């Protein structure tokens, strides 16, 4: 079975989606994220991927109150990321009710601090985010490209104890053109036992099957739900 994880991306406290991470290509879907979260919960979904796009862009958590509201008003298991830069940020996210802290840029730009968090809070509290463009990592809300190869990066983090990773292909994200299943297959074959969550490009139920066959344990779905390409009722077979 594959875990279905809908995404709520936040800008100014509203539920939005971007295309290929471009903040100028923003579409607002709902001004009340709690309404969306409850809709997911009512359909039988258990997990939620909550992204503070304001925080990711400016480097400081901005939508913590939305996390608190969703966690206190639903039973969804939430991972939260965007703007988590310090240990205090990490603690704040957990205190607000998140089960996992999604960490991406810090793991790349400040590996010493990331290792400290891993040792202090445990791998079970960290969801490592890897955003890739042509197999190279991008950080800081995708605004900064690197020359770091995803496989080299994952090899080091898995050695440190990381087991849960989500991977977003920037070229696919928000484009509804299918997921990077070849990349995901290569990752799961290279690192047996990795808990890999696919993100970006999901456009249909068939894409979910393809991702599942690539060895992923979960799939993050955003735009396809908001654009009614995938109906929540269609997801029941996976719940």
Which pLDDT value is given to residue 139?
A: 82
Which pLDDT value is given to residue 173?
A: 61
**Contacts of residue 199, Cβ cutoff 8 Å, sequence gap at least 6:** 7, 49, 166, 167, 168, 173, 219, 220
Give me the domain span that covers residue 15.
3-238
**Number of domains within the chain:** 1
Select which of 9, 79, 89, 169 is catalytic: 9
Select which of 131, 169, 173, 207 is catalytic: 131
Clarify whether 131 is annotated catalytic. Answer: yes
Clarify whether 9 is annotated catalytic. Answer: yes
Q: What is the pLDDT of residues 201-236, one digit of tens each?
A: 899 999 999 999 999 999 999 999 999 999 999 999
In this prediction, residues 18-46 reach a mean pLDDT of: 91
Q: What is the pLDDT of residues 31-44, one digit of tens each?
A: 999 999 999 999 99
Write the CATH number for 111: 3.20.20.70
């Amino acid at each position: 079975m594959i875990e279905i994880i809908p995404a709520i991306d936040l800008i100014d406290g509203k539920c939005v989606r971007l295309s290929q991470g471009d903040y100028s290509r923003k579409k607002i879907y709902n001004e009340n994220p709690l309404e969306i979260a409850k809709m997911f919960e009512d359909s039988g979904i258990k997990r939620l991927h909550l992204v503070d796009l304001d925080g990711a862009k400016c480097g400081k958590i901005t939508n913590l109150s939305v996390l608190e509201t969703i966690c206190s008003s639903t039973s969804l298991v939430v991972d939260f990321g965007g703007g988590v830069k310090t240990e205090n940020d990490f603690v704040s996210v957990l205190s607000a009710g998140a089960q996992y802290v999604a960490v991406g840029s810090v793991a790349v730009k400040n590996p010493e601090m990331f290792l400290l968090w891993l040792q202090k809070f445990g791998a079970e509290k960290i969801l490592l985010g890897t955003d890739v463009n042509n197999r190279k990592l991008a950080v800081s809300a995708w605004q900064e490209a690197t020359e770091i190869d995803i496989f080299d990066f994952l090899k080091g983090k898995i050695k440190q104890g990381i087991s849960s990773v989500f991977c977003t292909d920037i070229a696919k994200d928000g484009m509804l053109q299918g997921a990077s299943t070849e990349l995901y297959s290569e990752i799961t074959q290279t690192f047996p036992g990795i808990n890999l969550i696919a993100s970006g490009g999901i456009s249909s139920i068939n894409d979910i099957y393809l991702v599942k066959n690539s060895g992923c344990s979960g799939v993050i779905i955003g735009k396809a739900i908001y654009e009614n390409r995938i109906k929540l009722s269609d997801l029941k077979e996976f719940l």
